[in-house]
Amino acid sequence: MFLTNENLFELTGRKTKSKQIEALLQMRLPFWINAIGKPVVTVAAVEGRNEASKEKTWIMPRVKYGSKTNR
């Protein structure tokens, strides 16, 4: 599903997070940055597949504050 650290190094040729991000931006590959600042790349992005369109978008349900169901 996601590239491993080794795969990311092979793809970018860089070891540091900031340099990997620079390389991914230059390659114009879609990626996310996780909570520790590391780029996360899907295998589908590298293979050129658009896997995001298959996934359903989750929407947080609205909650009415003050109702008895929230207590």
Tens digits of residue pLDDT in 40-62: 999 999 998 776 545 555 566 77
Q: Is 37 left (phi over 0), alpha (psi -120 to 50) or beta?
A: left
Q: Which of 9, 6, 11, 71 is nearest to 46 (CA)?
A: 11
* Residue 66 confidence (pLDDT): 66
Over 80: is that where the pLDDT of 14 sits? Answer: yes
Q: State the average pLDDT for the chain.
A: 84
The stretch 17-40 carries a mean pLDDT of 95
Q: CA-based diameter of the chain, in Å?
A: 56
23-50 burial code (b ≥16 CB/10 A, e <16): bbeeeebebeeeeeeebebbeebbeeee
